[in-house]
A and B are shown apart, each in its own frame.
Chain A
Amino acid sequence: MESAEDWLVESLRLYQDFHAFDLSGATRVLEWMGDKGILVAGYESLKKNEILHLILPLRLSVKENQGLFPERDFKVRHGGFSDRSVFALKHVPDTRLLVTSGLPGCYLQVWQVAEDTDVIKAVSTIDVHETEGSLWSRVAIFSSAAPGVLHGVRLSSLKVVDLESQKTTYTSGVGDSELLSSLQVLDADTFAFCCTSGRLGLVDTRQKGLQGAQEGACSLVISLAPAVKVAHRKAPGFDGTVQVYDVTSWDGMWGRVDPLFTHRGHIFLDDNGVDTAPLVTTHTWHPDKPRTLLSAASDASLHVWDWVDLRASC
């Protein structure tokens, strides 16, 4: 594959480090469990999907003497089977619990990651009252001594449920049936929501109703790098690339902004040889390494890459 070879040669210049893996099934989720493990899950509709807890290769976890660690592979530390497609997966911090959302059936599944074996077991469910069968609930976690699960299909059905007691601690109390596209917890009392219409809003769970809504603001998924003020915009389903932007350089004018870096690995390393290039399904930042990202695509590939900031060399 000529283009793959070319891209690899190019990659010597573009990336500090680069790893490419083939999962047994494509994932739409990449969730950290601690700083050394990630969780992935399948989303196929007619077969059993796997939920895997993967431990990062040692090389990516150590801070010094990287060169002395030849191990470049992921280890499957835990695994479980899900009969449903998994579209969202959240780890409840400081616990061994996971919450997933998917189809068919509009409910959330709670899982336990075993300590003495390699099993991820389904332990309980959280009801989501939604009659339309093709919709799945978005999920976010309020982490605290008593963790709460924020979920909802529509603005009207937004709820926070206490994980242990299963009691509802918050409801949106609005009648608006707009569909949600994502939820993000900001602190112990606040979360942000984004609707499929593009409406963006903030909610303080101590107050009634929804605050600060803005139209047409969130059509793309944004994630913020933990260590550095760099924003990453990914266009889900748009193409097979991942783009990195630096928000600190934006002066408030919403004009055309060029990405700092574009990761094209999923397109060029696609071994399937089919005409349709794979689409990037999800991405996440490494918690400790400022320029390391993990990205997954619809062809079951999983990349871990550390891009070179070409500005820095000038």
Chain B
Amino acid sequence: MLLSHVVHTAATEVCFPSPLSVLQGEGPRASCGAGAGQDVGRSCILVSIGGKNVMLDCGMHMGFSDDRRFPDFSYITRNGRLTDFLDCVIISHFHLDHCGALPYFSEMVGYDGPIYMTQPTQAICPILLEDYRKIAVDKKGEANFFTSQMIKDCMKKVVAVHLHQTVQVDDELEIKAYYAGHVLGAAMFQIKVGSESVVYTGDYNMTPDRHLGAAWIDKCRPNLLITESTYATTIRDSKRCRERDFLKKVHETVERGGKVLIPVFALGRAQELCILLETFWERMDLKAPIYFSTGLTEKANHYYKLFIPWTNQKIRKTFVQRNMFEFKHIKAFDRAFADSPGPMVVFATPGMLHAGQSLQIFRKWAGSERNMVIMPGYCVQGTVGHKILSGQRKLEMEGRQVLEVKMQVEYMSFSAHADAKGIMQLVGQAEPENVLLVHGEAKKMEFLKQKIEQEFRVSCYMPANGETVTLSTSPSIPVGISLGLLKREMAQGLLPDAKKPRLLHGTLIMKDSNFRLVSSEQALKELGLAEHQLRFTCRVHLHDTRKEQETALRVYSHLKSVLKDHCVQHLPDGSVTVESILIQAAAHSEDPSTKVLLVSWTYQDEELGSYLTSLLKKGLPQAS
């Protein structure tokens, strides 16, 4: 992956809207061979928001077995250390195309900052990473791979988060996890700096399945929502039909006296399939035994106890009543059962058939065409699982023994992903201003872009791999208004009208990342400044032969009759006031027939003062 573009850094300390930019890592969608039918990409997205830099997921590309599988961070590290550049790393869930490069990134490239993920992800990641490492190094003899110690060291940097808990990364950056469905512990993340926010969905699912709930987010109105483009162009086959297919295959095999092997990882999908089979066996009154390898049960029970808040309501209820794996029709497996004649179904680990019990059983059953193996997920290159999914029917095992695979091989995808409809639902829930779809081919997706833009009146971006998208945001800056100022405005008599803006005079004080609007007097007091008074004085020459006092009286009478809405007064010293404006009459020093009117007003009364002046310049009416 090439981070080939400059990332924008923050603006100044005053809250100007800083551009929000997203740099997407290269994630080519590769189909690895006809048989495998594996559609994998790699997730690694860099977001710059309000001056903070966050990395979203750190996946590896499992289609490559050389350095191309890991992202290339050299562009950033060229300008400094990753730890200095990144404020945090967030991992959405434990699938390898989202976390597979994490130990490489933190221990081999070098990153010591915090890595955020949910608790289940934290518990499961290291197991998958270790499994993957073993396969890569032991089975494929790869060099330049991360070690077991590196995985441990990497996990020490992890900070676990709870759902809907606001986590302060620092005094400006906060993150929050939302339930994503999909797999145990999967989360969508909201990243917030000030009033700007981004939501990253990772992988999610909008329809609940038998053991997980559906993704959910509140109307958080982020500036940007980042999600997968492949979802938007998919119309998914219903869950019922997928289940039907699974049941049909199992049923047919068992009916003809065959054995079904289902290699699973310890959690999640296995749980889902067990519940499904149990329900079906009950309904059909089937007798063939179903087994679950004990290692699985123990581990799974342990995990489920820890992560019960992550499963759906139904499971939580049943768990309270009984042990998670106490099924009527599903029993603990004993190694010896593999040799028993007759039909049976066995769930065994590990999921890729690369070692252990599932491989043992596979070797025993592979030779009969009556049997079936159902692979429920992606298998890493080098594993037996990967080989048979690629269509290989002759496998070289230890000691140069060749195993002929006559059993039926079925590849079923049980991964719960959202689709076009789901994406629309999520966008409808979160109400983002902009939507960004990653891992697509921008040039090709005009219809999709239009569809999203039209439906939600949002802007939709689809950057090509390696491209940067910059968004301008207009963050709203909250300003506190002093009570005194509000009261004064109210006292002016006019009621506030929501539709008409009202002009308010005050002073904006920016202090300690705080904005307040106070009256000028208060501001002066707080700032310890003396108020300057500005007075304007204007001289108006009038032709009047009478004495000043009489001129003043004439002025008074005139203004009194004209300015009916204002307070016009004739003071004892002869001067006339209109509100706070002062008018004094004086004789011209050189010409006794000219009188000089001194009109004086403060800056605040500029409008009235100017008006008075022009009025007086027109002259006084003749005395009656």
Binding site for B on A (CB under 8 A): 4-5, 8-9, 11-12, 17-24, 48, 50, 54, 57-58, 65, 67-81, 116-120, 269
Contacts and interface: CB of A to CB of B under 8 A. Distances in A.
Given A48-B454, A120-B447, A20 B237 contact: yes
Determine the main DSSP class of A at the interface with B.
Answer: mixed
B240 A68 contact: no
B445 interface: yes
B409 A72 contact: no
Contacts of A21: 235-238
B170 to A, nearest CB: 42
20 contacts: A5-B283, A9-B280, A11-B244, A17-B245, A21-B238, A58-B37, A65-B34, A67-B409, A68-B391, A68-B410, A69-B411, A70-B412, A71-B37, A71-B413, A73-B235, A77-B233, A78-B447, A117-B444, A118-B445, A120-B447
Contacts of B35: 65, 68
Contacts of B245: 17-18, 72
Given A12-B247, A76-B448, A67 B411 contact: yes
Interface string B340-369: 000000000000000000000000000000
A12 B244 contact: yes
Contact of B447 (A18, A71, A80): A80
A77 B446 CA distance: 11
Contacts of A19: 237-238, 241
Given A57-B237, A269-B240, 11 more contacts: A11-B244, A19-B241, A20-B240, A21-B238, A22-B421, A24-B421, A65-B35, A70-B413, A118-B233, A118-B447, A120-B447
Interface of B: 34-37, 39, 232-238, 240-245, 247-248, 251, 280, 283-284, 389, 391, 408-413, 419-421, 424, 443-448, 450-451, 454
B446 to A, nearest CB: 5
A12 B241 contact: no
Contact of B446 (A8, A48, A117): A117
B235 A76 contact: yes
B235 A74 contact: yes
Contact of A68 (B39, B232, B248, B411): B411
SS of B interface (majority): helix
A9 B284 contact: yes
A5 to B, nearest CB: 8
A69 to B, nearest CB: 5
A23 B238 CA distance: 11
B283 A9 contact: yes
Contacts of A22: 235, 238, 421
A57 B233 CA distance: 13
A196 B391 CA distance: 54
Most interface-central of A50, A80, A118 (chain B CB within 10 A) = A118
B284 A24 contact: no
B39 A81 contact: no
A24 B428 CA distance: 15
A16 to B, nearest CB: 9
B235 A67 contact: no
Given A9-B284, A21-B238, A79-B447, A72 B420 contact: no
A69 B391 CA distance: 11
Nearest to B280: A9
A234 B235 CA distance: 26
Closest 10 CB pairs of A and B: A79-B447, A70-B413, A72-B237, A74-B235, A20-B238, A67-B410, A70-B411, A76-B233, A118-B447, A68-B35
Contacts of A20: 237-238, 240-241
Contacts of B242: 72
A253 B346 CA distance: 55
B285 to A, nearest CB: 11
Nearest to B412: A70
Contact of B240 (A4, A78, A120): A4
A70 B37 contact: yes
Contacts of B443: 116-117
